[in-house]
């Protein structure tokens, strides 16, 4: 069965981690606009340079850019998508509805991952990832077994995001509350919303999402 789902929640809620699980368990395609924008910036294109500054400050990039990125990916086709970090504004949500309808697809569920602000700050300021395989680590809660080496793939290319600092995080949280949190009501009204406790242990969150998708 093919499904299309949105993972919704503030920065640091664990969207990326759960998206990766869903990719492994269900063969869905993860569409992370954050990852796409980071790829664009490191490719050194003009668009990439424009968005880099905006991202590092913690602000949202324009709707046109991210909608364009998603449109390109959907055109490639796939057997079910996980939207991770998209949509983030009401305009993006409307655009996604149109894009899915144009390609004969529909949205099955929106999973809101709920986490309180204090936990977010703790999670994000200790976060680092493997540049090779994408595994996510944390200084306190999930360090690598051997310092500086990825447990999964052995790469030493471990990095921290430029926007994972306290100032940018404040802006990211504000952007979330101002522009993204209205999507909770939007999808509730469309009967698509399910909520899970993002502070539960990782496996529990995964099980809760699976449960929400059954229902």
Residues of this chain that interact with ligand ADP (CB under 6 A) are 11-12, 33-34, 37, 54-55, 58-61, 66, 85-88, 92, 163, 172
| Residue 212 binding partner per list Zn ion, ligand ADP, none, with a CB distance cut-off of 5 to 8 Å that depends on partner kind | none
- The answer to whether 127 is a known catalytic residue is yes
**According to CB under 5 A, which one of 133, 136, 149, 200 is a site residue for Zn ion?**
133
To the nearest whole angstrom, how small is the minimum distance from the Cβ of residue 61 to ligand ADP? 4
Output 123 or 206, the one with its CB closest to ligand ADP. Answer: 123
Least distance between ligand ADP and beta carbon 214 (Å): 26
Within the chain, strands assigned E span: 5-8, 29-32, 81-84, 109-114, 127-130, 136-138, 158-159, 193-197
Element (H, E) at 32: strand 29-32
Specify the DSSP element, H or E, that contains 128.
strand 127-130
82 with 34: CB under 8 angstroms?
A: no
In the set 20, 38, 88, 123, the catalytic residue is: 88
Residue 63 · residue 95 · CB < 8 Å: yes
* Closest among 36, 22, 17 to 80, alpha carbons compared: 22
d(CA 182, CA 178): 8
- The minimum distance between CB 215 and ligand ADP, in angstroms, equals 25
Determine if the peptide bond prior to 87 is cis (ω within 30°).
yes
Q: Which does 153 bind (CB under 5 to 8 A by kind): ligand ADP, Zn ion, none?
A: Zn ion
Which residue lies nearer to ligand ADP by CB, 66 or 74? Answer: 66
For the four alpha carbons of 206, 81, 121 and 41, in that order, the dihedral sign comes to positive
CA separation for the pair 6, 84 (Å, rounded): 6
Q: If binding is defined by CB under 5 A, does position 157 make contact with Zn ion?
A: no
Find the catalytic residue in 15, 38, 41, 123: 15
In the complex, which residue's CB is closest to ligand ADP?
A: 34
Q: How far is the CB of 30 from Zn ion (least distance, A)?
A: 16
The CB-of-55 to ligand ADP minimum distance in angstroms stands at 4
Give the phi and the psi of residue 211 in degrees, each rounded to 5.
-60, -45
What is the set of active-site residues?
15, 88, 127, 161, 172
Site residues (vs Zn ion, CB under 5 A): 130, 132-133, 135, 150, 152-153, 155
């Amino acid at each position: 069965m093919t499904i299309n789902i949105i993972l919704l929640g503030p920065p640091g809620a664990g969207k990326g981690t759960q998206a990766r699980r869903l990719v492994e368990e269900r063969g869905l395609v993860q569409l992370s606009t954050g990852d796409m924008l980071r790829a664009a910036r490191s490719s050194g294109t003009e668009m990439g340079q424009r968005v880099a500054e905006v991202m590092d400050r913690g602000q949202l990039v324009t709707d046109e850019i991210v909608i364009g990125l998603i449109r390109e990916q959907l055109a490639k086709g796939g057997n079910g998508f996980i939207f991770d970090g998209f949509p983030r504004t009401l305009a993006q949500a409307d655009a996604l509805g149109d894009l899915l309808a144009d390609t004969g697809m529909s949205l099955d569920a929106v999973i809101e991952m709920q986490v309180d602000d204090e936990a977010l700050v703790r999670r994000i300021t200790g976060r680092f990832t493997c540049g090779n395989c994408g595994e996510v680590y944390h200084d306190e809660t999930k360090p690598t077994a051997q310092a500086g080496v990825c447990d999964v793939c052995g790469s030493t290319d471990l990095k921290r995001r430029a926007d994972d600092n306290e100032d940018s995080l404040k802006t990211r949280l504000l952007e979330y509350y101002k522009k993204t949190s209205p999507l909770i009501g939007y999808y509730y009204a469309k009967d698509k919303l399910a909520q899970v406790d993002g502070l539960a242990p990782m496996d529990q969150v995964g099980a809760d999402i699976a449960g929400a998708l059954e229902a």
